Structure formats: C-alpha cells, structure tokens
Amino acid sequence: MDKIFFNEMYFYGYHGAYPEENKLGQRFIVDLELGLDLRPSALNDDLSQTVNYAEVYQAVKKEVEETQVQLVETLAERIADRLLSTFPVEQVLVRVTKPDPPIPGHYKAVGVEILRRKS
C-alpha cells in the first residue's frame, strides 16, 4: 500500500489528565501515515484523485486545538476516526507525542501510536 506521510506537525492543545494541562495547555506533535493507492493520482497528475495535504492538516489541527480530552490515546483515536471518515484512505497510522508532559523524570517525550483501518 502506498503512503502519504506528515512528520512533526506542531499544535498547542489543552489535553491531559491533570488540571494544569487543561488550563495551561501544552505542545503536541502529530505524525501521520495515510495508506491509499496513489497510482491513479500519479498517472493522471490529478489532485482530486488523492488526498489534499492542506485539508488533512486542518482536520488534525481541529482535533488537537479545538477539542479537549484527558488521554492522548483518545486524541489519537479521534484523529484516526476523522481522517478515515473524511478522506479516501484505507488506513492511518497516528502518532501523538507530548514533548513536555507534567510528569517527573528525564525523557525526551511520551506519546502513543495507533494504526486503524477502514472496516
């Protein structure tokens, strides 16, 4: 299966299990892989036969910046659901990273990665 990918889209959102995360907000990084057949669009050089990258970006931005959930797991699931229901893709891999979570310790980031397919 062919893929379209988005690396390190940066957003600011208010997701988290701790009250300060919901009040102060924090950075979120989203990576995507969209699985679909790119041959028709490539052979015809036709945007209408593929996925518009700007529309995908705006869809993800809405989920991250205009909603509020406790878990990054929920956020990733909502992003996957939106992309699968809106765009002509067969599967999506969504990675949501929190580079600055309010938990003690030394680490670069925490996050989740999910793979979802159309049923």
Distance between CA atoms of residues 43 and 35, nearest Å: 18
| Catalytic residue check, 98 | yes
Residue from 3, 23, 62, 98 carrying the catalytic annotation: 98
Give 48-90 as a DSSP string.
GGS--HHHHHHHHHHHHHH---S-HHHHHHHHHHHHHHHSS-S
CB atoms within 10 A of CB 11: 18
Instruction: Point out the residues that are catalytic.
Output: 98
